[in-house]
Structure 1
């Protein structure tokens, strides 16, 4: 899970720029399935909120 989260954090940074600490915390609370969904959503998301 930590490896998946690390990749998701990197994708978010590449797409949206620097991640606020509170958003990092929100992402760190995601479980395995939520990380998988967020990783797919990032492909079409136009805002950070759309990936959650």
Structure 2
């Protein structure tokens, strides 16, 4: 999770095993006080990821 400047105030990465888990997580985040909007996307395949 990181704070950001620009289009989003916060950017977060979440890993789930099932689409239903992802949907439940997104719905939980949307329900948090102060959340005015939420945008999500899915990686179909990760070729390389390093931090």
TM-score w.r.t. the length of structure 2 is 0.38
Highest RCO, 1 vs 2 (Cα 8 Å, sep ≥ 6): 1
Larger-Rg structure: 2
Greater share of strand residues, 1 or 2?
Answer: 2
Greater share of helix residues, 1 or 2?
Answer: 1
TM-score w.r.t. the length of structure 1 is 0.38
